[in-house]
Amino acid sequence: MGSAVQVPGTPRKKAAVAGPTPAETREPDPRVEQFLEIITTSLEDDKAEDIVVIDLTGRASFADRMVIATGLADRQIAAMAAHIDRKLGEAGLKRVRTEGATGSDWVLLDAGDIVVHLFKAEARALYGLERMWGDDLDVPPEAPAGPVA
């Protein structure tokens, strides 16, 4: 008698193991753009520096957007994270997970389809998330102009 194999784990873990879903087959969450606007506006209001939004649609299974910003001090970064959490809660997103908000160089907010990284400048340069996830990685390198001798 054939039975389906049951894989342990939550639906989110199963999706992460399965890999990214092609953008054309996945139903986009209509609130992503609304939440993204709330996040970027909050960061601008809190004087975050060098705010970057990276589109991960079809490239990653854990999120559709990644927001990266820089703060000057631990307290500023913790305040930015708290403000984002509060404003997203007011907009209807109740499950925002936060890591590192107790005073570190890097705070991560997981808002489901949007992941927010708040760094001090030195930590941001060290981890280089823009280099890791940026669009320039999707473009193949140019071929050499002529034969190499």
Give me the DSSP letters along 81-117. Answer: HHHHHHHHHHTT----EEESTTT-SEEEEE-SSEEEE
pTM exceeds cut of 0.75: no
Lowest mean pLDDT among 30-44, 94-108, 110-124: 94-108
Q: What is the pLDDT of residues 57-69, one digit of tens each?
A: 877 778 888 999 9
Range 31-123 has CATH code 3.40.50.300: no
Domain map (residue ranges) of the chain: 31-123
Residue 53 and residue 39 in contact, taking contact as beta carbons nearer than 8 Å: no
Q: d(Cα 114, Cα 87) in Å, to the nearest integer?
A: 14
6-16 CB burial, b ≥16 within 10 A, e <16: eeeeeeeeeee
Q: What is the pLDDT of residues 67-113, one digit of tens each?
A: 999 999 888 999 999 999 999 999 888 888 888 877 778 899 998 88
Residue 115 and residue 108 in contact, taking contact as beta carbons nearer than 8 Å: yes
